[in-house]
Each structure stands twice: as structure tokens, then as C-alpha cells.
């Protein structure tokens, strides 16, 4: 299926690692021009060069997304370079373990800036160009907003906010023909996930325990599987889909756990 993404300029925050990197690479394969926005110039360039080596196009902008001024500058720089924005993927964030018992006001607010405030800012600053292109916004969110996790109040709150903003923006932007959707991630194998599981006493046993609870295939979701859905939702092939929270999780959140070992 031709997703009709050729030469579409699509911002991907946190596009140098994990799910973001997967989205960048799939978009490039579909002919789009993903623009990586992240704090590490080295990481950004590495992914952009990998895309170009594979025959695609990619660009990047260095920005610390917890800084509101940097969010605005990133969008301005992209407009200067390309003259347009056709899509925005809000993806950057981290499950930073700021809980109710162990957290503080300062840590809680800092986590919100890491995980949801820049979602708003990037969309706000990109909006004038998205109106012109009738582009799409995609928010990457986490199952923690649906299920809870424990000891991660700020991250769960941020993801609840991401989900609510998806529906709110879908309503507000109907009149411009801008579609807004979200992909809800559960257990996806990324470098951050791998780093976390290595901190546990028996990483291999814990991974097997987690995989056993994922009904479809008893395995982790891959970044490419998230990216494939992302490309579809950003494309005109999903032209009548907006305000949706789509779980790409092998049935982890909604299917009966008894099915996992069936």
C-alpha cells in the first residue's frame, strides 16, 4: 500500500532512540522526510546518517524539550529549512519513577515537563503550518494511564494528559481537517527498557515473566510494529480516523490474562 507520504516533512521528537528511531526509519522508507528533534546531536546525526545510507532522507534539530524556548526554536528552524510541516509525532519522554511516596513537588513538575508539557508546546508552535498542510498529529502514550504501575505518579499523570490532549485536540482541530490520534504502548523492547530490566536481580527470568503475560505470541512489541501503525495514522490512508487511542500491545491491556498461557 502506498501511504502517500513522499516528501512529507514530519517532526519526530525523541527520534534518535527506541520507538522514535523506529518511527523515523519507517517514515523514511515510505518516502517521508522525518525531522529528528532531540537533545543529543551525536545521536540525532547517527540516525539521520543511517537513514541516508539506506536510501532515505532525514534531518535533525538539537533541542532540550524541557525548555519551552527550545521547543519554539526547533519548530522555527524546521520551517526555515523546509518551509512546511506535514506532521508531528510527539514521542519523547521517560518513565522516571517519580512516585507518590518517594517524589517531591519539584520532581513531579520536572517529570511533567519531560513527558507532557513539550507535547503541548510542539503542537502549539507547529499548528500554523499544520493548518496549511492539513497535517496530522500523533501522540505516543503509555498503558500506565490505563492500568497504573506503581511508583510512577508523574509518568502516569503525563500519559493521562497525553490521552486527554489527543481527544481534545481532535475536537479543536476538526475545523482545519487536522487529524489527531495516539498509539498506546505497553511492553515494547527499546534500549531504555533493556537498561531497566538489566537493573533487576534476574533480568532473564523477569523478561520471561513479562512476555508470558502478553497474549499475542508471548513476546514484546517491537519498535517497528509501533512505527508501522504510526506511519499509517500519519498518512491519508487513515483519512477518517481521528481522536483514537490505539493500543499496539499484543492484547496486553485489554485481553484476559488467562489467554496468555492458552
Residues 36-81: pLDDT tens digits? 999 999 999 999 999 999 999 999 999 999 999 999 999 999 999 9
| Mean pLDDT, residues 120-148 | 98
Q: Give residues with Cβ within 8 angstroms of 258, minimum separation 6.
A: none
pLDDT at 133 over 90: yes
> What percentage of the chain carries pLDDT values higher than 70?
99
Check if CATH label 3.40.50.720 holds for domain 9-261: yes
pLDDT band at 123 (very low <50, low <70, confident <90, very high): very high
CA distance 171 to 108: 29
pLDDT at 177 over 70: yes
Q: CB–CB of 14/20 below 8 Å?
A: yes
Catalytic, 252? Answer: no
| Mean pLDDT, residues 143-169 | 97
Q: Which of 105, 120, 155, 252 is catalytic?
A: 155
| Mean pLDDT, residues 108-125 | 98
pLDDT band at 258 (very low <50, low <70, confident <90, very high): confident
pLDDT at 126 over 80: yes
- Give the helix, strand, coil percentages of the chain, each rounded to 5: 50, 15, 35
Query: What pLDDT score does 192 carry?
Result: 87
Global pTM?
0.97
Domain boundaries, the chain: 9-261
Query: What pLDDT score does 257 carry?
Result: 75
CA distance 145 to 62: 29
CA nearest neighbour of 14 among 226, 171, 180, 170: 226
Residues 208-221: pLDDT tens digits? 999 999 999 999 99
pLDDT at 256 over 80: yes
CA nearest neighbour of 32 among 50, 11, 6: 6
pLDDT at 259 over 90: no
| Average pLDDT over all residues of the chain | 97
Residue found by looking up cell 517529570 in the block: 111
| Element holding 10 (H helix, E strand) | strand 9-13
pLDDT band at 141 (very low <50, low <70, confident <90, very high): very high
CA distance 245 to 183: 6
Query: What pLDDT score does 262 carry?
Result: 58
Amino acid at each position: 500500500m502506498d501511504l502517500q507520504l513522499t516528501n512529507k516533512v514530519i517532526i519526530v521528537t525523541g527520534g534518535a532512540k527506541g520507538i522514535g528511531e523506529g518511527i523515523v526509519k519507517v517514515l523514511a522508507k515510505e518516502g517521508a522526510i522525518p525531522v529528528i528533534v532531540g537533545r543529543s546531536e551525536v545521536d540525532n546525526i547517527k540516525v539521520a546518517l543511517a537513514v541516508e545510507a539506506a536510501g532515505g532522507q532525514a534531518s535533525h534539530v538539537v533541542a532540550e524539550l524541557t525548555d519551552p524556548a527550545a521547543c519554539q526554536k526547533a519548530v522555527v528552524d524546521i520551517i526555515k529549512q523546509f518551509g512546511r510541516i506535514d506532521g508531528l509525532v510527539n514521542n519523547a519522554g521517560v518513565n522516571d519513577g517519580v512516585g507518590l511516596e518517594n517524589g517531591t513537588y519539584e520532581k513531579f513538575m520536572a517529570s511533567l515537563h519531560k513527558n507532557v508539557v513539550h507535547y503541548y508546546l510542539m503542537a502549539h508552535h507547529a499548528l500554523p503550518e499544520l493548518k496549511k498542510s492539513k497535517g496530522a498529529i500523533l501522540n505516543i502514550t503509555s498503558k500506565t494511564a490505563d492500568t497504573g504501575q506503581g511508583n510512577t505518579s508523574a509518568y502516569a499523570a503525563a500519559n493521562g494528559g497525553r490521552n486527554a490532549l489527543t481527544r481534545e485536540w481532535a475536537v479543536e482541530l476538526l475545523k482545519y481537517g487536522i487529524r489527531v490520534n495516539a498509539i498506546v504502548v505497553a511492553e515494547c523492547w527499546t534500549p531504555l527498557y533493556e537498561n531497566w530490566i538489566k537493573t533487576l536481580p534476574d533480568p532473564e527470568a523477569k523478561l520471561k515473566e513479562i512476555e508470558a503475560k502478553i497474549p499475542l505470541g508471548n513476546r514484546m512489541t517491537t519498535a517497528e510494529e509501533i512505527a508501522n501503525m504510526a506511519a499509517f495514522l500519519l498518512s491519508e490512508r487513515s483519512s477518517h480516523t481521528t481522536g483514537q487511542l490505539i493500543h499496539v500491545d499484543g492484547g496486553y491491556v485489554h485481553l484476559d490474562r488467562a489467554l496468555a498461557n492458552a
